[in-house]
Structure 1
Amino acid sequence: MRKFAVALRRTIGEMNRLVHGFAADEGLHPTDVHALAFVLDHPDTCTPGLLREHLGLTSGAVTACLDRLEKAGHVRRSRAADDRRVVRVHYAPDARGSARAHFLPLAEAAGRANGRFAADELAVVLRYLDALNVELGALRAPRR
């Protein structure tokens, strides 16, 4: 299983390299990119509280992160109609182009890698990744 752990670390390192490149290109912090991905992938409308919990940041740090993302045009914030105290975070549709352009090589590399495997093999890999993400998601992010 050591080879497996090494392969996962290499994958994480390559993904981090791409995230850091996007962050630098956009004038963001790498944590901002993780926040942006969470907003994009969240099944419901995201809130600053959900981001704080997911990233393990303080409220002030999440506000600074959202300020940078909003200034760069990646997100917008709105107030809930039924309770003006509730802030919602939305991925800005017109911001998708810059992310799509930056991460296109990743999508193409994934497509080439996927082409080396049969559909049933990819289903097992996806099942594993889903299980790993559930396990990792259950771990509390350290507070910063």
Structure 2
Amino acid sequence: MSRTKARAVLLQELENAMRKSSAQGAMFAKAVAEHAGISSSDMDCMDFINMEGRMTAGRLAELTGLTTGAITGVIDRMEKAGFVRRERDESDRRKVFIALVPERLAEIGGLYELLQRAMQRQTDAYTDAELKLISRYATESYRSILDATNQLKAKIEEKPKKKARRD
């Protein structure tokens, strides 16, 4: 097998391994979202707010590609579940920011510890030898995330679901 063909095969193996890892990560996030009582897409929107900080609904729509109407529904659901709150801008009362409720976020943040432990050893691609290592790592990551997802499901089944706060 030529070096070019061998590398193409190696890159395809790496891509497949990373796709499996990514898909299992999505399944883990879906399990957390279900436990939290929100949808996976609501969880993704919450993650954007978590990464960027409080923002307007318009900014969240920009980041996600969702319509402002769809974002309003997302925010309503997350607010009802107690994960976000609407905050008026001090200088312009017409402007409303969406902010996370840290206590509620902390309730589900602990569930991600399983995933964080599984993902601590990541590196990026370089030479063929490094690509082989990364391909192996991606495969192991997939297995770790799958195991963490199963542990999460078992953990959730052991404890009764917490009901969303009603304000």
- For the superposition of Structure 1 and Structure 2, which TM-score range results when normalised by the shorter chain? 0.7 to 0.9
- Deviation for aligned residue 1:9: 0.9
1: CA distance between counterparts of 2:28 and 2:90?
Answer: 37
1: CA distance between counterparts of 2:68 and 2:99?
Answer: 18
Q: Which residue is equivalent to 1:94?
A: 103
1: CA distance between counterparts of 2:54 and 2:82?
Answer: 18
- Deviation for aligned residue 1:36: 0.6
- Deviation for aligned residue 1:78: 0.6
Other structure's SS at 1:97 match? helix
Q: Which residue is equivalent to 1:15?
A: 25
2: CA distance between counterparts of 1:80 and 1:8?
Answer: 41
TM-score, normalized by length of structure 1?
0.73
Q: How many residues end up aligned between the 2 structures?
A: 115
Match of 1:74 among 66, 75, 83: 83
2: CA distance between counterparts of 1:12 and 1:87?
Answer: 34
Once the two structures are superposed, residues 1-43 of structure 1 have per-residue CA deviations (whole angstroms, 9 ceiling, x without a partner) of 211211221121011101111111122111100011000000x
Structure 1 residue ranges without an equivalent (≥5): 126-144
- Deviation for aligned residue 1:87: 1.2
TM-score, normalized by length of structure 2?
0.63
Within-5 A mapping of 1:85-124 = 85-111=94-120, 114=121, 122=123, 124=124
Over the matched positions of the two proteins, sequence identity in percent amounts to 29
1: CA distance between counterparts of 2:86 and 2:111?
Answer: 24
Once the two structures are superposed, residues 76-99 of structure 1 have per-residue CA deviations (whole angstroms, 9 ceiling, x without a partner) of 111111112211111111112222
Runs of 4+ in 1 over 3 A off after TM superposition: none
The root-mean-square deviation of aligned C-alpha atoms, in Å, is 1.6
Greater relative CO, 1 or 2 (CA 8 Å, sep 6+): 2
Residue type at the aligned position of 2:58: G
2: CA distance between counterparts of 1:8 and 1:89?
Answer: 33
